[in-house]
Amino acid sequence: YKVSRFSPLVSVVRHTVITLPTPINISTWWNFGSLLGVCLVIQIFSGLILSLHFTAHTDLSFYVVIQSFGDVYYNWWFRAFHANGASFFFIGLYLHIARGLYYGSYVFKEVWSVGVVILLVVMASAFLGYVLPWGQMSFWGATVITSLFSALPVIGSDVVIWLWGGFSVDNATLTRFFGLHFVLPFMVAGLAGLHLFFLHDQGSSNPLGVSSDYNKVVFHHYYVLKDLVGVCFFLGPLLGLVYFNPWLLGDPENFIEGNPLVTPHHIQPEWYFLFAYAILRAVPNKLGGVVALAAAVLVLFYMPFSPKTSIKGLSFYPGGKSLFFSMIGVFFLLTWAGSKPVEEPYVVISQVLSFLYFAYFILIGPVTRVQDKLL
């Protein structure tokens, strides 16, 4: 009786992680989906532990975070794991998206669209979490980013006041940011389940970009063991960073309490937002910069509607491969430019790189279509 009562749930789990038909030729680049699931679990668990010892108040947050390092058993470990886990989460996300762009996974519209929504929610959650320690960069980062909404015509000022909960970034802002940061990861978990549902309904792509319906194997044990090896290789550098240099990726300014009367010399977000920050600063007009910032991520929604090619992916398109790897270089250069002050020559460099970034999404379809006709 018990087995029959739980059999629908058991069958879902069994189909998801054991008997799922999987293309026999998918490579290590397909490991990042499971790695992102592991990262999400790590972030939720470590975040729950940290939330037990956090007070969302502008007079207390900074000191509570510092005090908990010494007074709460292993709190420093969870804090370092949570902070660096966010960086590794974004590394996995960007590699997962790059694999999807290279191998044409965006042809599965539902899977791709839900994935882009997950990216947007994760970015929002990461921004909200960065504000919580209430250091200098946290405070001023929140001030700068929320102030961007003032560029919206007519309703901009009202939206900013609504986000702040007052007329400046203050206690109300921190309280609602903490609440949202707590809730959003669970929304990501739900979206990840929807992402997997569509993926299993439509099937995975493969490096050759051809139908794999007649050449599949069960997920377990072939890919379960492969994913476990990937998790070990992924967690190794993360643990090394946590134990040997936990604040390497942090900003020194954030070890100073947030002060609205002292503006940091150079305000910048975490490294995983620097490419978008560079695009924002590349546009002189404030509204234009906000539109460009949003378009830098929302342009991914366009890919399922780009011109179709005979073969999924870029493996057999030399011109498309050249464009793709050029775009990867542009992404790294934008990240570098975003970390530099707003002065020449970095402004001009950011403008050129921003143009090249968006040019990729415009040109990749026509370039591959031309190669289709030549072949």
- Model-level pTM greater than 0.75? yes
CATH number of 269-374: 1.10.287
Q: Is the dihedral of CA 115, 120, 125, 131 positive or negative?
A: positive
| 157-171, 208-222, 261-275, range with the lowest pLDDT | 208-222
Q: What is the pLDDT of residues 4-35, one digit of tens each?
A: 455 676 777 777 777 788 888 888 899 999 99
Q: Which of 116, 143, 109 is nearest to 127 (CA)?
A: 143
Give the residue numbers annotated as catalytic, written as ranges: 200, 204, 226-227, 270
Q: Is the pLDDT of residue 2 over 60?
A: no
- What are 79's strand-pairing partners? none
Q: What was the pLDDT predicted at 18?
A: 78
DSSP 180: H
Q: Please state whether 338 falls in left (phi above 0), alpha (psi between -120 and 50) or beta.
A: alpha
Q: What is the pLDDT of residues 305-317, one digit of tens each?
A: 988 888 888 888 9
The helix (run of H) or strand (run of E) holding residue 242 is helix 222-244
Segments of 34-144 assigned E as strands:
none
Q: Which of 195, 207, 219 is nearest to 108 (CA)?
A: 195
Q: What was the pLDDT predicted at 211?
A: 73
Do the annotations mark residue 266 as ligand-binding?
no
The helix (run of H) or strand (run of E) holding residue 217 is strand 216-218
Name the residue with tokens 């006041």.
161
Q: What was the pLDDT predicted at 21?
A: 82
The tokens of 47 are what? 């975040």
Q: Is the pLDDT of residue 171 over 90?
A: yes
**Where in the chain is CATH 1.20.810.10?**
15-267
Do the annotations mark residue 221 as ligand-binding?
no
Q: Can you tell me the distance from the alpha carbon of 145 to that of 130, in angstroms, rounded to the nearest whole number? A: 12
Do the annotations mark residue 181 as ligand-binding?
yes
Q: Please state whether 363 falls in left (phi above 0), alpha (psi between -120 and 50) or beta.
A: alpha
Q: Is the pLDDT of residue 87 over 90?
A: yes
Phi, psi of 312 (to 5 degrees): -70, 135
Residue 15 burial (CB count, 10 A): 13
Q: What was the pLDDT predicted at 3?
A: 47
CATH number of 15-267: 1.20.810.10
**Where in the chain is CATH 1.10.287?**
269-374
Do the annotations mark residue 53 as ligand-binding?
no
Q: What is the pLDDT of residues 179-238, one digit of tens each?
A: 999 999 999 999 999 999 898 888 788 888 777 777 888 888 888 888 899 999 988 999
Q: Can you tell me the distance from the alpha carbon of 57 to that of 332, in angstroms, rounded to the nearest whole number? A: 36
